[in-house]
Amino acid sequence: MPIHTTTRPETTALLAHKGVERIFAIFNGAGEETRIVGGSVRNALAGQHVHEFDFATTALPEIIQARAEAAGLKYIPTGIEHGTITILAGGESFEITTLRKDVETDGRRAIVRFGRDFEEDAHRRDFTINALSMDQHGTLYDYTGGLADLAAGRVRFIGAARQRIREDYLRILRLFRFSADFAGGRLDAEGLDAAIREREGLRRLSTERIRAELLKLMGGKRVAEVAYEIAEAGLFTPLLPLVPQPSRLNRFITIETEATQDPLLRLAALFTMVRENVTALRVHLSLSNAETTRLDHAVTLASSLHALAEPPSEPAMRALLLHRSHQTLDDAFVLTQAGAPAALGAAWASARARLRTLPKPKLPFSGADLIARGISPGPGMGEALQRLEKAWIAAGFPEDSESLAALLDRIAPARRV
């Protein structure tokens, strides 16, 4: 495969980044070469946001540390056993990894040997589009055909696909994720076939790695198209004991807005409409307590909303907001809309828009009001407050003192001493 030593206008902004310029200045020279690699180059060429800065270098980890210290930069030995050190500069982080070659792999991790050959390092990577590198002058190096694949919208394994997957089974999920972002949702035939044949290896991955990769996949541009292919191939089965609903995910994506794109909620649209499924997601994806609570509240409410013939009225929405957050209602509304008949789509969209304008109601009565009327603290007070709440909702959430006093007189008349 020829090496493309060309410059591209798409990488101008990346080269001009102050932090990138500084890393190049510090870690090049005196017999060492450092290039920016992988996703940083890929995203720049594809016109996508570069959110991570990864570098590869001929310098050994101890040299990286010494140069960072000499330049007055803080660093973290993130994965020093694999040659990776994170440099902190200008409020950003930059990962620098010594060139390496895999000596031994077990499907989850690798034992590596450090080297000085950029081409050898490129060939140990997963996909051709991730094996690109660029030096400080903007010269691109392509040892595997990544430039052509990126231009063609193709995500292709380097070398034998099954062998690359066996080195790290997470690469199956990475195939899906990168296909959603860089291949228009189309899966490479050889890669998909290899993923199907090696799918049992997914069971060897930790829940934390699966969770991280699935959430990244859910944020993909064409995740709905990829989800259909994953489901058809049965590749969700080794990951989760749940039946995927890619059609519901597709509808969910068409109704969410740019501002509300949410990987966690997309995951819920794909897998959950009952509370038991939320529990399964928590167990198999190590969801945090906050994530589990959010999905549990949303799915519980969505389950009841799904049975309605039409979206809740404004008074009903205000009643729901009394003991729930706006986020819970919006989460539940969009999940319900994704599973509702198309004819109700406009009505649900209107309800969601109206929801965003409603203030959260607050019950204008407290225990102090009841004590003033001779009701002692205890179960009786709690029951009286519940009756007051129902009456206040039924009356249309009045706020004027006359209406509130009338409700108190009716529900909790003053007791004679």
Both 33 and 66 in a single domain?
Answer: yes
Both 251 and 124 in a single domain?
Answer: no
Domain ends where: 239, 255, 289? 239
From 178, 180, 159, 173, select the one nearest 210 (Cα to Cα): 173
pLDDT of residue 413: 85
Both 147 and 32 in a single domain?
Answer: yes
pLDDT tens digit string along 63-109?
999 999 999 999 999 888 889 999 999 899 999 999 988 766 665 56
Q: Could you give the count of Cα atoms lying within 13 Å of 160 in the half-sphere of its Cβ?
A: 5
Residue 193 confidence (pLDDT) above 70:
yes
Domain tally, the chain: 4
Report which residue type is found at 55.
Answer: F
DSSP 175-235: HHHHHHHHSTTPPPHHHHHHHHHTGGGGGGS-HHHHHHHHHHHHTSTTHHHHHHHHHHTT-
Please state, as a whole number, how many other Cβ atoms lie within 10 Å of the Cβ of residue 193.
14
Domain ends where: 361, 379, 400? 361
Is 182 contained in some domain?
yes
Strands 54-57 and 92-98, how do they pair? Answer: parallel
Is 25 contained in some domain?
yes
Both 3 and 148 in a single domain?
Answer: yes
Residue 2 confidence (pLDDT) above 80:
no
**Alpha-carbon Rg of the chain, whole angstroms?**
28
Place of tokens 């003033």: 372
Both 45 and 121 in a single domain?
Answer: yes
Is 417 contained in some domain?
no
256: which 2 tokens?
A: 């969410």
Q: Could you tell me the pLDDT band of residue 112, with boundaries at 50, 70 and 90? A: confident
Both 139 and 1 in a single domain?
Answer: yes
pLDDT tens digit string along 227-238?
999 999 999 999
Q: Partners of 141 in the beta sheet?
A: 133
Both 401 and 331 in a single domain?
Answer: no
Residue 257 confidence (pLDDT) above 80:
no
pLDDT of residue 79: 82
Q: Could you tell me the pLDDT band of residue 256, with boundaries at 50, 70 and 90? A: confident
Is 416 contained in some domain?
no
pLDDT of residue 388: 94
Both 12 and 135 in a single domain?
Answer: yes
Both 274 and 374 in a single domain?
Answer: no
- The kind and range of the H/E element at 101 are strand 100-105
Task: Tell me the average pLDDT across 108-131.
Answer: 89
Domain ends where: 152, 170, 204? 152
366: which 2 tokens?
A: 């407290």
Strands 54-57 and 133-134, how do they pair? Answer: unpaired
Mean pLDDT (the chain, rounded): 92
CATH number at residue 196: 1.10.110
Both 25 and 47 in a single domain?
Answer: yes
Q: Which domain holds residue 346?
A: 241-361
pLDDT tens digit string along 203-222?
999 999 999 999 999 999 99
Both 146 and 7 in a single domain?
Answer: yes
Q: How far apart are the first and last CA of the chain?
A: 97
pLDDT of residue 82: 84
Both 231 and 263 in a single domain?
Answer: no
From 231, 294, 304, select the one nearest 264 (Cα to Cα): 294
Sign, CA dihedral 14-43-104-79, equals positive
pLDDT of residue 380: 87
Place of tokens 């992988």: 38
Strands 110-114 and 54-57, how do they pair? Answer: unpaired
Residue 86 CB partners (closer than 8 Å, separation 6+): 75, 76, 78, 93, 94, 95, 96
From 8, 1, 2, 46, select the one nearest 134 (Cα to Cα): 8
Is 306 contained in some domain?
yes
DSSP at 107: B
Q: Partners of 95 in the beta sheet?
A: 54, 86
CATH number at residue 132: 3.30.460.10
